[in-house]
Amino acid sequence: MEATNEKAIFLEAIEIENADERAAFVENQCAHAPGIQSAVQALLAAHEEPDNPLDQPLATPRANPGDEQADTMVAPRPTKSDAVGIMIDRYKLMEQIGEGGFGLVFVARQAEPVRRDVALKIIKPGSGNKDVIARFEAERQALAMMDHPNIARVFDAGVYRDETRGPLSPLGSDRPYFVMELVRGVPITEYCDAEKMTVPKRLELFSAVCAAVQHAHQKGVIHRDLKPSNVLVTVHDGEPVAKVIDFGVAKAIGTQLTDSTIYTRFHSMIGTPLYMSPEQAEMTGSDTDTRSDIYSLGVLLYELLAGITPFDRHRMSTAGFDELRRIIRDEEPPRPSDRLKGLGDDLNRVAKARGEDANQLPSRLEGDLDWIVLKAMDKNRNRRYESAAAFAADLRNHLHDKPVIARPPSRLYLIQKFTRRNRAAIVTSGLVATALIAGLTGSLWQMSVAIGERNDKDAALQQAIAAEAEARDAKQEVERFAESLKDATQLIARAYTDTENEDFGDALEKMDRAVALQPNYYLTHLQRAQLHLRLNLWNHAADDFATAVEMGAPANGPGGESLPALFLLNGNHAAYQSALDALWATIPEGGIASWNILRSALIATNPGRDPGLLLDQSTRAFERDRQSAADWPSFADAMRFLGAPDNRRPPDDRRRERVEPRDFFGPGPPRGRPQNGPGPPLGNEGGPINGNAPGFGGNRDRSFRAPIGVQRYVLGLAAYRNGEFDSALEHWQAALEDRGWRGTQLLKPLQASLYHQQGDHEAANAALQASASSVDELLSRLQSPTSEETTARFRGPWIDQVDLLLLHREALQLVKGSSATLDRQLAEAQASARERLGF
Partner 1 sequence: MSQDITQILKAVEDGDQQATDQLLPLVYAELRRLAAAKMASERPDQTLQPTALVHEAFMRLLGGEQPSQWDGRGHFFAAASEAMRRILIDAARKRSRLKRGGALVRVELKDDDALVEVADEKLLELDDALQKLESQDPEAAKLVELRYFTGLTIDETAETLGVSPRTVKRNWAYARAWLQRELMSQDPNSIP
Positions annotated as catalytic residues are 225
Choice between 92 and 731, CB closer to partner 1? 92
Q: Residue 405: exposed, middle, or buried by beta-carbon count in 10 A (0-12, 13-18, 19+)?
A: middle
The distance of closest approach from Cβ of residue 234 to partner 1 in the complex, given in angstroms and rounded to an integer, is 24
Question: Is the alpha carbon torsion for 703, 708, 714, 718 positive or negative?
Answer: positive
Query: Cα angle at 546 between 543 and 548, to 5 degrees?
Result: 110
Choice between 31 and 74, CB closer to partner 1? 74
- 118: Cα separation from own chain's centroid: 39
DSSP one-letter code for 489: H
The distance of closest approach from Cβ of residue 124 to partner 1 in the complex, given in angstroms and rounded to an integer, is 19
The distance of closest approach from Cβ of residue 88 to partner 1 in the complex, given in angstroms and rounded to an integer, is 9
Element (H, E) at 116: strand 116-123
The distance of closest approach from Cβ of residue 111 to partner 1 in the complex, given in angstroms and rounded to an integer, is 9
Choice between 9 and 603, CB closer to partner 1? 9
The distance of closest approach from Cβ of residue 38 to partner 1 in the complex, given in angstroms and rounded to an integer, is 11
Residue 744 has a CB neighbour count (10 Å cut-off) of: 16
Closest CA to 451 of 475, 429, 484: 484
Residue 259 has a CB neighbour count (10 Å cut-off) of: 6
For 60-75, letters b (16+ CB in 10 Å) and e give eeeeeeeeeeeeeeee
Choice between 60 and 605, CB closer to partner 1? 60
The distance of closest approach from Cβ of residue 9 to partner 1 in the complex, given in angstroms and rounded to an integer, is 11
Enumerate binding residues for partner 1 (CB under 8 A).
3, 7, 10-11, 14, 42-47, 49, 52-62, 70-71, 73-76, 78-79, 81-82, 84-87, 90, 92, 163-167
Element (H, E) at 120: strand 116-123
The distance of closest approach from Cβ of residue 123 to partner 1 in the complex, given in angstroms and rounded to an integer, is 21
- CA–CA distance, 300 with 302 (Å, rounded to integer): 5
Choice between 54 and 465, CB closer to partner 1? 54
Choice between 168 and 451, CB closer to partner 1? 168
Residue 349 has phi, psi (to 5 degrees) of -65, -45
DSSP conformation letters of 130-199: HHHHHHHHHHHHHHHH---TTBPPEEEEEEE--SS--TT-TT---EEEEEEE----EEHHHHHHHTT--H
Residue 702 has a CB neighbour count (10 Å cut-off) of: 21
Closest CA to 207 of 381, 405, 388: 388
- CA–CA distance, 561 with 773 (Å, rounded to integer): 28
Residue 53 has a CB neighbour count (10 Å cut-off) of: 6
The distance of closest approach from Cβ of residue 40 to partner 1 in the complex, given in angstroms and rounded to an integer, is 10
- CA–CA distance, 390 with 367 (Å, rounded to integer): 18
Contact 596, 694 (CB under 8 A): yes
Contact 245, 232 (CB under 8 A): yes
Closest CA to 560 of 671, 666, 640, 641: 666
Choice between 90 and 457, CB closer to partner 1? 90
- CA–CA distance, 396 with 385 (Å, rounded to integer): 14
- 563: Cα separation from own chain's centroid: 29
Choice between 11 and 433, CB closer to partner 1? 11
Go through the chain and tell me how many residues it has. 839
For the chain, the straight-line distance linking the first and the last C-alpha, in angstroms and rounded, comes to 90
Query: Cα angle at 597 between 594 and 601, to 5 degrees?
Result: 140
Contact 142, 57 (CB under 8 A): no
Choice between 172 and 612, CB closer to partner 1? 172
The distance of closest approach from Cβ of residue 51 to partner 1 in the complex, given in angstroms and rounded to an integer, is 8
Choice between 58 and 630, CB closer to partner 1? 58
The distance of closest approach from Cβ of residue 65 to partner 1 in the complex, given in angstroms and rounded to an integer, is 11
Element (H, E) at 93: strand 91-99
Contact 825, 779 (CB under 8 A): yes
The distance of closest approach from Cβ of residue 170 to partner 1 in the complex, given in angstroms and rounded to an integer, is 11
Choice between 72 and 359, CB closer to partner 1? 72
